[in-house]
Structure formats: structure tokens, C-alpha cells
Amino acid sequence: MSSIPTREVARRAFAHEYNDASYTFKESDDERAPVYALLPTGARANRVFVVGTLTETEDIGEDSEYWRGRIVDPTGTFFTYAGQYQPEAANALRDIEPPAYVAVVGKPRTYETDDGDVNVSVRPESISVVNAETRDRWVVETADRTLDRIEQFDAEENEYATMADEQYDPSLSVYKENAVEALQSLEAEEGEEPPEAGI
């Protein structure tokens, strides 16, 4: 057995489900153990892969640059934040001119607000401009993965589904509708002009 840690698979999830993934956990007491977000459809995510339309960027830093990006998919909005510890991603958010299709690989982050709500965001490892075909393929694959997770939810020994049931009592039909509507949105968009992907 190799002791070299392998990189976690980057999970695909639509924004609606991702923003509901407010529960995080570790699977060991090791302080360097990965932190996972629990997706309501019954999977753990240490890394995520997101594609959508970057609609807005803003430097919200006070003493140094700290960029926030707003990325929209057919079900909702992802927020991503990058500062001095994510220089490549911060440069991308500074340089990309919205609206543009972007692909983001990053880690889930949760933040509890003063009134007890939990905001979920993506801490980016990379942000890159992509074309409409890449965005459409992501929607199709993410819909497939979402529907697969829902189908497997009640399978025996699905520990993450059991955990999701306890933490969220999720309405799986909502995420199923998200997936179907996302696929339908692609059909509706055929013939529309894609946003200009400018840097």
C-alpha cells in the first residue's frame, strides 16, 4: 500500500444541491484529514467541479485583493472566493470579463453567519474560461450523476445517504426536478447566442 495521498475525485453537483450541502465532516482525527461536504443526495465531496456562467466579479478585500465570483448554472448560483492563497484563481477572477462560461475546480467551504445560517462556497484551485459545448456537457453529466445518486440513495450500505437522511431529511424529488429542468434548459437555449468569453 502506498502512503502517498491520492487526490479526491472532483464531484459534480448543481448549485441548488451544492448550496444545501451545509454539513461538513472528517473521517479521521488526523488534523490533516480531508474535510468533506455532505451532498444531500448521499455523497461526500472533498473537491468539486463546477461549470457555469460567470456573471459578476468583485474585489471585496480590505487590506489586500480578495475576489468574489458569482457563477450561475441552470439551478442557481455558486459563489467562489480567491485571495492571496489562491493567486491563479484570484488573477482569473480579476482578468475574466463577465459574462463568460467558466470551469472551476475547488474545495467546498462553509461559513456560519451571525444569524445561524450556513453559506456554502467554493474555494477555487483553478478557474478557466470554457466554451458553450463544455458547459452543456457539464450540465448533462451533472444531471446524470445527480440522478444516479438519487437512484442509489436507498441502496443497502450507502453510508453517506444514511448520513444525509439524518442531517438534512432531503426532498430528493427537488434535486430530480433540478436535473430534469437543467436538461430541458439546454434544449430551450439551442439557437441562442452564448456569452462572449473574454479575458
**Domains along the sequence of the chain with CATH:** 10-186 (2.40.50.140)
Choice among 28-32, 173-177, 186-190 with the minimum mean pLDDT: 186-190
Half-sphere exposure of 35 (CA within 13 A, CB side): 11
Three-class DSSP category at 116: coil
Q: Is the pLDDT of residue 180 over 60?
A: yes
> What's the whole-model pTM score?
0.89
Q: Is the pLDDT of residue 4 over 50?
A: yes
| Cβ–Cβ < 8 Å for 183, 144 | no
Q: Is the pLDDT of residue 144 over 70?
A: yes
Q: What is the pLDDT of residue 198?
A: 44
pLDDT in tens, 54-101: 999 999 999 999 999 999 999 999 999 999 999 999 999 999 999 999
Written as nine digits, the cell of 161 is 445517504
Q: What is the pLDDT of residue 5?
A: 55
Mean pLDDT, range 30-47, rounded to an integer: 96
Chain-centre distance for alpha carbon 39: 10
